[in-house]
Amino acid sequence: MGKLDLVTMIIIAANVIISYKGFSDYSFFEKYKFQVGSVQRGEQIRLFSSGFLHADTQHLLFNMLSLYFFADVVIDLLNPFQFSLIYLGSLLLGSLLSLYFHKNEYHYSAVGASGAVSGIIYSAILLQPGMKLLFFFIPIPIPAYLFGIGYLLYSIYGMKNRIGNIGHDAHFGGAVGGYLITLILSPWLFKTNLLMVVLLAIPIILLFGLKKMGKM
pLDDT per residue as tens digits for the range 96-136: 999 998 899 999 898 999 899 989 988 998 999 888 777 65
**Per-residue model confidence (pLDDT) at position 183:** 96
Q: Using an 8 Å Cβ cutoff, are 106 and 48 in contact? A: no
- pLDDT of 164 higher than 60: no
**Per-residue model confidence (pLDDT) at position 136:** 55
CATH fold group of domain 6-212:
Rhomboid-like fold (1.20.1540)
Q: Using an 8 Å Cβ cutoff, are 158 and 168 in contact? A: yes
Categorize the per-residue pLDDT at 1 as very low, low, confident or very high, splitting at 50, 70 and 90.
very low
Mean pLDDT on 128-154: 75
Categorize the per-residue pLDDT at 182 as very low, low, confident or very high, splitting at 50, 70 and 90.
very high
**Per-residue model confidence (pLDDT) at position 43:** 97
pLDDT per residue as tens digits for the range 49-85: 999 999 899 889 988 988 998 899 999 999 999 999 9
Which residues make Cβ contacts (< 8 Å) with residue 159, sequence separation at least 6? 101, 168, 169, 172, 207, 216
Q: What is the mean pLDDT of the chain?
A: 87
Q: Using an 8 Å Cβ cutoff, are 32 and 22 in contact? A: yes
- CA-CA distance, 121 to 91, in Å (whole number)? 12
Q: Which sequence spans correspond to the domains of the chain? A: 6-212
- pLDDT of 10 higher than 70: yes
For the question of whether the overall pTM of this predicted structure is more than 0.85, the answer is yes
Residue 75 vs residue 212, higher pLDDT:
75
What three-state secondary structure class fits 154?
helix
